[in-house]
Structure 1
Amino acid sequence: MAPRSLPDSRFHIDFVVVFGFFKFFMTKHTMDIFEKHTLVKVCSPMVRYSRLPFRLLVREYGCDLAFTPMLMADSFIKSDNYRKVESVTCENNPLVVQFAANTPEIFAEATELAYQDCIGVDLNCGCPQSWASHEGIGACMMNKPDLISDILRQTRNRISDSTFGVSCKIRIFLDMARTVDLARQLEATGISFLTVHGRTKAERNEPVHLDYIKAIVDAVDIPVIANGDIDSLEKAHAVQEVTGAKGVMSARSILENPALFTGQVKTPVDCINKWCEINTRLDTHFTMFHRHLIHMCAPLLNKFERRIFNNLTDKKAVLDFISDKFNNHSNLEEEESVVVS
């Protein structure tokens, strides 16, 4: 499957050659990622959050693999603008594009469109939100294991590139045996790896069932990524120790601290500055730029400062606030005391 055709010029021909080599190398390298890293550190798919700017940021701080937000496969097929907004490009490989779909045809067609810009696609069978259930996607699909298997198998067979990844993200059933049976059934479709959020569809803040993840790891031969409450590098290693998972995936905690996988316990100032640089370079929308900073800066600001910062309405005001608060050397010692308290 070749990259899209480009205008006939020496520059573009050279680009195609270079891009083709890059895609081949990156694909081979990334699907071997579980062999190359003792612990694969993954940024979770997060609606509205795990878009290109944030993926570029976490790669600077120890993230080995990033997912797009959950994308609607049918919209991805139909809308050029949808694909543009989600910025699925080879700029930020290794990347897995996660789709929500409930038919083999839609998932496979979306996969073919995404193929040249990522190293794999993932079927979301873990989203617990009611709107997703109403649409027949996400975690409700776990009650239709044969449908999930059909979607994954047909897509795996449709992509001739065996190094291209097809994977799935699931939750657990209360019945451990049923959970393990599902994992084995999905493995039999030829998927590359499986991500398991160690909670049921109904659970939100309850403790993660690490014993269920371990049972899956013991039952299958493909790599398993453990998801749920990975809030520090220390926790990531502890979860791997308990479950035997080849990777760990963080969501909410990596929003608050994009440098989590480097062992930082809070977002360092250089990470905040890097976020500002990335967004200035990409000229991102203010809402995305500000929303991420609200998460990153919350533990670093007192209640009064948070109120001011969260209500800023333009990029210049945000950059001025960041500069005054974090880049004024006279405030650094005070800032450290605020963080530790």
Structure 2
Amino acid sequence: MTPVQHLNALLARPEPLLALAPMQDVTDLPFWRLMTAYGGADVYYTEYFRVHADSKLEKGIVPSIAENPTGMPAVAQMIGNDIPSLVRTAKELQQYPIAAVDLNLGCPAPVVYKKCAGGGLLREPERIDAILGALRDAVQVKFTVKTRIGFDDNAVFDRLLPIFAKHSIDLLTVHGRTVLEMYRSDVHYDFIARAVQAMSCPVLANGNVSSAKKAEQILQETGARGLMIGRGAIRNPWMFQQIRQHQHGEPILLPRGRDVLAYIHALYDAVTSPEVPETLQVQKMKKYLNFLGLGVEPSGAFLHAMRRVKTKAELFALCAEHLDHGDEMSLEPFELDLQAKDVLAGVHQ
């Protein structure tokens, strides 16, 4: 079965399709492998391949599609605005065993949107129209798009949906916020529902999928064919399996504190390299623990202390202090203040 056939088979099932979101500097091959060990997604999206006139396929991302360890379909995501370069890259990506090529129209990082790429393109619907037309002709596997609902104004979404439909994209993922809303606002799930009604292709809902119960609420509210989960999967790698259990009416198995502690150890081993200085390894882990820490305790004390540790020993001593117990943990995020949320906006999906 080819990756495209595999994705078609997943979409033919009655269960919602569960995708791991593309997150820059996070969703690499080791992270994919780790997620698979905890139940895993149905579909895995790569970090975005940066595309411009002189770009080449990034060596750090290619192994995800060349050596895909998940047993599930992989989608290669591109970001850029130069049509010849996007077409060239799409053709190069199709030399690998991928189910789809995805265009990023949602990245909210200023360094990206100021170059009129990612979410920045949402300010130019006519340019999106031209890009999609060229890519539709170039992509022989499935062609998909991940978008937000606008740049600074969601009114543009009504102009975008007919453009997406015109080019017969095969799947649309909608993050229900504008670019400038980043991750701070509530998610506008009603806009995702509008996309479901307007599009003939499957639509995935993205944004604040924080638990199996919340996943069910989003699916009911939007009518989406499935869900794309990003930061929530960093915090709770059991979530994909928990959603399936909830869908099947089975008891949801919650990890205990020591299970979460073991996950942190496995995550450290997966995403750090021995040749990298320990201080840098610890700094890299803090990026992940910024999200996981939201579900550890409500005061923010864990996050505050975690951001100040400097060594591996200090890091794991702190984690053990909070997690070396046998109590079940939902890992749903506790409400933190705006300053903490701003810090956590640094992983872009």
Task: Please list every run of 5 or more consecutive structure 2 residues that lacks an aligned counterpart in the other structure.
Answer: 243-251, 335-349
Q: Which moved more, 1:269-278 or 1:111-120?
A: 269-278
Q: Is the CA contact (8 Å cut-off) linking 2:294 and 2:333 kept in structure 1? A: no
The alpha-carbon distance between structure 1 residues 118 and 243, as it changes in their structure 2 partners (threshold 3 A), is same
Which protein has the bigger helix share? 1
What TM-score, normalized by structure 1, do the two folds share?
A: 0.75
For 1:130, the equivalent position in structure 2 comes to 110
**DSSP 3-state at the match of 2:191:** helix
1:192 shift after superposition = 1.0
Q: Contact conserved, 2:31 with 2:271, CA < 8 A, in 1?
A: no
C-alpha change, 1:262 and 1:85, in structure 2 (3 Å) is closer
Q: Structure 1 residues 210 and 326, CA, compared in 2 at 3 Å: closer, same or farther?
A: closer
Task: Give 1:91's aligned residue.
Answer: 69
**Does the alignment pair 1:158 with 2:138?**
yes
CA pair 58-37 structure 1, distance change in 2 beyond 3 A:
farther
Equivalences for residues 214-253 of structure 1 within 5 A: 214-253=193-232
Q: Is 1:49 paired with 2:26?
A: yes
Q: Which residue of 2 aligns with 1:67?
A: 45
Q: Does 1:141 align with 2:108?
A: no
Supply the distance in 1 between the matched residues of 2:191 and 2:62 (Cα, whole angstroms): 38
Q: Aligned AA for 1:276? A: H
Deviation at 1:101, TM superposition (A): 1.2
AA in 2 matched with 1:31: N
Is structure 2 residue 177 aligned with structure 1 residue 199? Answer: yes
User: How many angstroms does 1:255 deviate by?
Assistant: 2.3
Indicate if the aligned counterparts of 1:90 and 1:118 stay in contact, CA closer than 8 A: no
Does the aligned pair in 2 maintain the 1:126–1:139 contact within 8 Å? yes
Displacement of 1:324 in angstroms is 7.7
1:299 and 2:295 are equivalent in the alignment: yes
Residue 223 of structure 1 and its aligned partner are, at CA, apart by: 0.4
Residue 269 of structure 2 corresponds to which residue in structure 1? 280
Call closer, same or farther: CA 1:283–1:211 in 2, change over 3 Å: closer
**Aligned 8 A contact 1:75 1:82 in 2:** no
- Out of 300-309 and 95-104, give the one that drifted further: 300-309
Deviates more, 1:124-133 or 1:260-269: 260-269
Preserved contact between residue 97 and residue 122 of structure 1 (Cα < 8 Å): yes
1:252-308 CA-to-partner distances (Å, cap 9, x unmatched) read 322222222333697654355356346536764624445324532453367666555
Cα 1:50–1:82 shift into 2, 3 Å = closer
CA distance in 1 between counterparts of 2:49 and 2:322 reads 36
The structural deviation recorded for 1:35 is 1.8
Q: Supply the distance in 1 between the matched residues of 2:269 and 2:300 (Cα, whole angstroms).
A: 27
Which runs of 5 or more structure 1 residues have no equivalent in the other structure? 1-23
Letter of the 2:26 counterpart: Y
How far apart, in 2, do the equivalents of 1:200 and 1:191 lie?
A: 21
C-alpha displacement at 1:168, in angstroms?
0.9
Q: CA RMSD in A?
A: 3.5
Which secondary structure does the structure 1 equivalent of 2:221 belong to?
helix
CA distance in 2, matches of 1:338, 1:68: 25
Matching of residue 102 in structure 1 with residue 81 in structure 2: yes
**Counterpart-to-counterpart distance in 2, 1:76 and 1:28:** 33
Determine if contact 2:236/2:331 at 8 Å carries over to the other structure: no
Q: Please say which of residues 265-274 and 27-36 is displaced more in the overlay.
A: 265-274
Q: Which deviates further from its counterpart, 230-239 or 86-95?
A: 86-95
1:145, distance to aligned residue in structure 2 (A): 2.5
Counting aligned pairs with the same residue, the percent is: 22
Rounded to whole Å, the distance in 2 between the matches of 1:175 and 1:305 is 36
